[in-house]
Amino acid sequence: MSLPVDDLQCPVCCDFFVDPVLLSCSHSFCRECVRRCWETSGSRECPVCRKRASKAGPTTNLALRNLCETVLEARKGSLSSEKEKEELNCDLHQEKLKLFCLVDKQPICVVCHSSKTHKNHDCSTIEEAVVDCKDELSSTLVRLQQKMDNLKRIHTNSSYNIDYIKNQAVETQREIKAQFEQLHQVLHREESERLAALKQEENEKLAGMRDKISEISEEMLSLEESFSVLESELNADDMTILQNFKAIQDRCNTIPLGPVNMSGILIDVSKHLSNLKYSIWENTNDHLQYTPVTLDPNTAHPYLILSEDLTSLHYSGQSYGCPDNPERFQMSAEVVGMSALGSGSHHWTVETGSNRDWLLGVTSASAPRNADVSARPENGFWTLCYRDGELRAMASPPTPLVLTKEAPVRRIRLQLDYNRGTLCFFDCSHDDDDDTLLYTFESTFTELLLPYFYTQSHHPLRIFPESVMVTALRKEGSKQVM
């Protein structure tokens, strides 16, 4: 004889008992239900007979709990069996589902296959479809796992980037103060404004980085949910996989699996330090040194050390923990200038000194930063190379250069005429003002160019400063650069 369902239901919630407890009056309730009743009434009374319960905690009614669990499990098994029997047949024709429509991504019967809906659609057998669908879902699972691994790596690096950004701000602030100290009497106002701009950018970068971390965390949470759903579906029975396949695949296809955009996350150090003294020349009548090209530290290979004023570099042989940001060169010891070169004429001079392993020139702005490519024009590089005592123009093929003077090359001047498509290299190592043309690249430049530097020498390459004279004119308070 079966027990009435009412005897298995809590008098408070009117549902099957969950963790039932037995009071001294012999009435049973869900543990959570009786607790809420006591909290609401303020007294430990039986919700049915109002008899006061003992001070000790109510005991678990093990027999009743086991009985409820047995009945619920039996009901669940019965419902699942009935549902499975219903799902094995087509809802429209009550025929057994023997085919899988490859167009609509759903199981169908033979009558469905002959109908207008699926008549011209490619189909496969249920057995073949299960294998194919599992393979496809497994591939999707692998891609999601790769995305998750990539997000975890970026999330970890992003936390490190916050410390790096703070360190950038500290170092940049120190250099700003050092340069402003030289002209502090007349430049106090300018110094304060630039420090405020740096602080504002630091806050913006940190806020943006925190937002990026939060965004990545949310995306990771979403991926974890999709990952869990996909794993559950792969462990389900074959028919459930086929019936839910389209919905699951549509859900997975909405998840972007491309790389996370982390460009522009670092402080633009060059904006604060590049030609700092020259940029405030209106506040002084002294002669200033101007460097036509300054280096972008956010692009420097981790083994390169840049000077504080961003005008020299040398090779260290060890990494100093730079972030793996997209702008940075990762394959070899390279760095580019911060200012892109376009229409017009541009020139700068590099002092190579005792450095015997270098490449100098220009590179296109879109040249790869994380790939090992030859510094040739077809790859977006126009350079001169000095290595093993030999000077070569890195054309295709490389062209050895014969020096007309016995003294080694110690200073190179680069002259870029963007509109004419020429890049000239001059040897200006000597004091006789007799600059010697070493080589001329001729090309049709189609995008912005960046000054390019490479070295694996501990001896520095230094961008030579130029003297600029600032003279005040009386006409309407204007000034002229001479």
- At residue 282, does pLDDT exceed 80? no
**At 325, which amino acid appears?**
N
Percent of the chain with pLDDT over 70: 90
Q: Which of 31-45, 168-182, 183-197, 449-463 has the highest mean pLDDT?
A: 449-463
Considering the domain architecture, whether residues 79 and 155 belong to the same structural domain is answered as no
How far is Cα 441 from Cα 399, in angstroms, rounded to an integer?
A: 11
Q: Is residue 475 part of a domain?
A: no
Q: What is the three-class DSSP state of 178?
A: helix
pLDDT value, residue 231: 83
Secondary structure class of 27 (helix, strand, coil): coil
| pLDDT tens-digit readout, 45-101 | 888 888 888 777 788 888 888 888 888 888 777 666 555 544 578 877 778 888 889
Total tally of structural domains belonging to the chain? 3
* Host domain of residue 354: 292-464
In a domain, 131, yes or no: yes
Residue 1 pLDDT > 50: no
Rounded to the nearest 5°, which phi and psi values hold at 18?
-120, 115
User: Which amino acid, one-letter code, is at 49?
Assistant: C
At residue 457, the pLDDT reads 95
- pTM: predicted TM-score of the whole model, two decimal places: 0.57
Q: What is the pLDDT of residues 359-409, one digit of tens each?
A: 999 999 999 888 888 999 999 999 999 998 899 999 999 999 987 766 678
Task: Assign 482 a pLDDT band (cuts: 50, 70, 90).
Answer: very low
Give me the phi and psi of 362, to 5 degrees please: -135, 160
Q: At which residue do the structure tokens 């429509």 appear?
A: 101
Which DSSP symbol is given to 468? E
**Nearest-angstrom CA–CA distance, 177 and 126:** 74
Whether 110 maps to a domain, the answer reads no
Q: What is the mean pLDDT of residues 13-22?
A: 87
Residues 446 and 393 in one domain: yes
Residues 351 and 458 in one domain: yes
Same domain for 307 and 244, yes or no, is no
User: Do 56 and 194 reside in the same domain of the chain?
Assistant: no
Looking at the structure, tell me whether residues 325 and 446 fall in a common domain: yes
CATH of the domain at 46: 3.30.40.10
In-domain check, residue 68: yes
CB of 448 closer than 8 Å to CB of 365 = yes
- 196 shares its domain with 233: yes
Write out pLDDT tens, residues 207-230: 988 988 888 888 888 888 888 888
CATH of the domain at 363: 2.60.120.920
β partners of residue 461? 313
Q: Does 402 fall in a domain?
A: yes
Residues 233, 356 share a domain: no
pLDDT of 256 > 80? The answer is: no
Residue 431 lies in a domain: yes
Could you tell me if 316 and 437 lie in one domain? yes
79 in a structural domain: yes
Decide if 351 is inside a domain. yes
Q: Does residue 309 share a domain with residue 406?
A: yes
Do 246 and 164 fall within a single domain? yes
What is the mean predicted confidence (pLDDT) over 126-148?
A: 88
Examine the fold and report which residue of 236, 268, 300 is the final residue of a domain before the chain moves on: 268
pLDDT for residue 113 is more than 90: no
Contacts of 474 (CB under 8 A, 6+ apart): none
pLDDT at position 461: 97
305 plus 232 within the same structural domain: no
Spatial distance between the Cα atoms of 370 and 373, rounded to a whole number of angstroms: 9
Reported for 434-443, long-range contacts at CB under 8 A and 24+ positions apart, including other chains, are: 436/403, 436/404, 436/405, 438/384, 438/391, 438/393, 438/401, 438/409, 438/412, 439/384, 439/393, 439/399, 439/401, 441/361, 441/377, 441/382, 441/393, 441/395, 443/377, 443/382
